[in-house]
Structure 1
Amino acid sequence: MRVHNQRLRFDITPKPMSLTGSSLITARSVAVLLFVSLLLLILPPFLPPLPPPPATLLLVPLLLMILLIFLAFSPSNEPSLSVEPLDP
């Protein structure tokens, strides 16, 4: 068994954020968020109240949470991968 004193190098250079069309927060997204929030504030007093959902429909989030917890703690079938440096 040989021990290598080489380090793996990853070239990670951050790219500068530009304020052109590739920005994550644009004026359009801010306008849509403001419009939706105003609708959520204005419409509920004018809309009629809805009846409560059926009891079986209320179990859907609980079943989804149980499924996600089960998947989080179940072992994966993928083998463990180890990274070894390449010899020059």
Structure 2
Amino acid sequence: MSVHNQRLRFEVTPKPTMSLPGRSFITARSVAVILFLCLFLLILPPFLPPLPPPPSTLLLLPLLLMILLIFLAFSPSNEPSLTVEVEPLDP
């Protein structure tokens, strides 16, 4: 088995940045879309008929999800403990 000692050459090129001077992520098109959606949500509800309330079992779904998340948050994990004991310094 022979091992060749080779040197690897890496060339580092600067990564182009996302924000160019004078450019913004907020464009006239994005502002127009947001304004259109806001107007759509303000104008449309008075013209739509009222919807019936959802069934009570569907209303319990967020409550059941919250109970499940709280249970999972406080249940112990199966990961080993990674505590580190630090000895005090002697003066």
Aligned twin of 1:70: 71
Aligned twin of 1:52: 53
Q: TM-score, normalising length from structure 2? A: 0.54
Q: Deviations over 1:27-70 (max 9, x none)?
A: 35444333322221111001010011011110001101111111
- Computed over aligned residues only, the root mean square deviation of the Cα atoms, in angstroms, reads 3.0
Segments of structure 2 that go 5 or more residues without pairing to the other structure are 1-16, 84-91
- Work out the number of aligned pairs and report it: 65
Structure ranking higher on relative contact order (CA contacts 8 Å, 6+ apart):
1
- Which has more radius of gyration? 2
Q: TM-score, normalising length from structure 1? A: 0.56
**Percentage of identical aligned residues:** 81
Q: 1:62 to 1:26 in 2, by over 3 A?
A: same
Once structures 1 and 2 are overlaid, which stretch shifts more, 69-78 or 55-64?
69-78
Distance in 1, Cα, partners of 2:77 & 2:70: 14
